[in-house]
Amino acid sequence: MATDYTTLLGFALPVTGELTNQWGTVVNDNITELVEDAIAATATASVTSADWTLSTTGFGAVNEARCAILVPTGSPGTSRNIIAPKKSKAYVVVNQSNGAVVIKGSDTTGATIGAGEKAVVAWNGSDFVVIAGATTGVTSVAASSPLNSTGGTTPTISITGQVSVLNGGTGAGTFTNGGLIRGNGTSPLSVASAADIVAAIGATAVTNATNATTATTATTATTATNATNATNATTATNIASGAANQIVYNTGSGATSFITAPSVTDTYLKWTGSAFTWAAGGGGGSGTVTSVSGTGSVNGITLSGTVTTTGSLTLGGSLTGVSLTSQVSGTLPIGNGGTGANNTTDARTNLGLGTMAQQNSNNVTITGGSISGVSISGVPSLSGTNTWTGANTFTGGSTSQAWNFSSATSLYGTTLSGGQYLQVNLDISSTRSLTLFGGSDNFSNGNFCPQTDNGFSIGKSIARWSAIWSTNPTIQTSDQRLKTNVNNSQLGLSFINRLRPVSYKWIVGGKEVIGYDEEQILDAQGNVVRISKVPKFGPVPGVRTHYGFISQEVKTALDQENVGDFGGWLLTDKDKPDSEQCLRLGEFIAPMVKAIQELSAKVQTLEAEVAALKGN
């Protein structure tokens, strides 16, 4: 049985019959020395820049946590922690640093020992507490006469040093005259700096206190320019920099100015739009208006009549020469020859024209409209988002004519006839694409071709066709005149033997419609002309069993054959090694033919050897 150890201090507990010829070493190293450490050893560490976590190197080994005396040193300038194991243990802490230290468990409150102080602390089952403490501040207390004297000489107590904060003192001998005292935990009190004051009361309060510019109750503040409540400021009789008979007013936020009294009488204060000025008061005259007459003409409208104690003023004439752009506001009703609107959309509605008026022209541009059930000949060019619904027939005269759609266009129930073909002009550098909807869309008597030879693909790695139906197999170009670097196949029987044919099912065998989203089709004015249902697709697990190869295994076989490039294996993104791997199974035909040829040669050799053996 192996040596065990005590739970609290990790002393060795040898078992009977073990430690042959080792007893002395174990007792000395794992018991005697450790007992000495627990009773008298001192552990010292600087706490200048960080807390001190007592080392616990394990049972039967020397560590800081077992020492009896802990001495933190250094100049942290703030409180530091001594992290000790949460076990029954007593420590003598001699704090030689200039800040308080807290001896505690990893998640407890702990006991505080001030700067320069000593204390005995112990674990009480839930935290470390001070059992006994001493201070380096007060060194002696002496009485020159009995303290309990009821008469005679008054008792006198002499104290040498400073009473610490923990003992109800300040921990300091002197303070700067006029300074504010600042607390510092259990460390001695100190005079607060300007930065300490700002931090304590807030920068905004300090700013507002300067010159009392915003002091709302600064009743006697001579510079309280914004003192909104200084109505009873009995000593604020003279505003700074003002003079007799001047009027004070604000010229901006926190700024004031003065208006000097006028030099003449019978004037009044006038606002010009940018400043206050003095204006003549008209001599201070008075009287009664006895008669008002109306006369004059403006744009054919005349004013006439006289009012004394009674009477009336009359408008007459006909309105002429009025500018509709500068002298008239509002809209002209339909009954008066107008449209009753101030924009084209409302005008068409008021006049009953709908969203598009009839156009009589050989060259009409329709942008963002909705056209249903029409027959159009010629070659229109459409831009914007166009939707064609209903039974539309597009006809033309020659195969050179085309329908050009330069943006999102949907054709529903549309027939292209009379030599017409659909041409979609797409910006290849953008994200536009051609989407063909099932139904009655008809490309009759023609071919569906790319714009240029050998320049585009059908589908992509994240938008694949589920199946391609055709009467005949695909035709792959193989003309020798189109090839270069033609060599005999490097891949043959060895490569084929490395491949592992497998059967499998697809994790996602396809996608099916699981619902629909509604999409509003708007005209150029933003009106909803129809609501289209856009299908939503969801994955369906594979059902059929397929046979083939694993791309990763094919790549391994190619590496084993030292083949650097094989068009039958590829990445969906050649610049991303972790992208999906794919196979072109048609390119496996040549290696399989080579393998068959190699097997055929072996068979012929074996047949010849068999024939020779039979002849013998």
CB 491 within 8 A of CB 561: yes
Instruction: Pick 450 or 148 by higher pLDDT.
Output: 450
Widest Cα–Cα separation across the chain: 160
Residue 37 pLDDT more than 70?
A: yes
pLDDT for res 605: 95
Residue 31 pLDDT more than 50?
A: yes
pLDDT for res 593: 96
pLDDT for res 472: 85
Residue 144 pLDDT more than 90?
A: no
pLDDT for res 276: 79
For the chain, give percent helix, strand, coil, nearest 5: 20, 25, 55
Q: Is 411 helix (H, G, I), strand (E, B) or coil?
A: strand
pLDDT for res 59: 64
Residue 78 pLDDT more than 80?
A: yes
Residue 126 pLDDT more than 80?
A: yes
Question: Mean of the pLDDT values across residues 139-147?
Answer: 47
Question: Residue type at 467?
Answer: A
pLDDT band at 547 (very low <50, low <70, confident <90, very high): very high
CA 583/CA 548 separation, integer angstroms? 10
Q: Which two tokens stand for residue 555?
A: 């790549």
- Condensed to tens digits (0 to 9), the pLDDT of residues 554-581 reads 999 999 999 989 999 999 999 999 999 9
Mean per-residue pLDDT of the chain: 73
Residue 432 pLDDT more than 70?
A: no
pLDDT for res 232: 42
pLDDT for res 169: 76
Looking at 197-328, which runs of residues are DSSP E strands? 246-252, 255-260, 267-271, 276-280, 292-293, 297-298, 301-304, 306-307, 314-317
This model's pTM is above 0.85? no
Residue 250 pLDDT more than 90?
A: no
pLDDT for res 42: 93
Question: Mean of the pLDDT values across residues 51-75?
Answer: 85
**Nearest alpha-carbon partner for 158 in 145, 171, 175, 148:** 145
pLDDT band at 499 (very low <50, low <70, confident <90, very high): very high
CA 469/CA 150 separation, integer angstroms? 122
Q: Is 594 helix (H, G, I), strand (E, B) or coil?
A: helix
Residue 445 pLDDT more than 60?
A: no
CA 55/CA 32 separation, integer angstroms? 20
Residue 440 pLDDT more than 50?
A: no
pLDDT for res 471: 81
Counts of helices then strands in the chain (DSSP H, E): 8, 39
**Nearest alpha-carbon partner for 214 in 224, 201, 204:** 224
pLDDT for res 331: 83
pLDDT band at 486 (very low <50, low <70, confident <90, very high): very high
First to last CA, the chain: 80
Torsion sign over Cα 31, 32, 35, 40:
negative
Domain boundaries, the chain: 4-134, 140-201, 293-320, 330-356, 366-448, 490-600
Rg (CA), the chain: 52
CA 345/CA 175 separation, integer angstroms? 84
**Nearest alpha-carbon partner for 121 in 107, 106, 103:** 103
Residue 316 main-chain phi, psi, to 5 deg: -145, 180
Question: Mean of the pLDDT values across residues 539-547?
Answer: 93
Residue 366 pLDDT more than 70?
A: no
pLDDT band at 2 (very low <50, low <70, confident <90, very high): low
Question: Mean of the pLDDT values across residues 167-184?
Answer: 74
pLDDT for res 57: 72
Sheet holding 301-304, edge to edge: 297-298, 301-304, 314-317
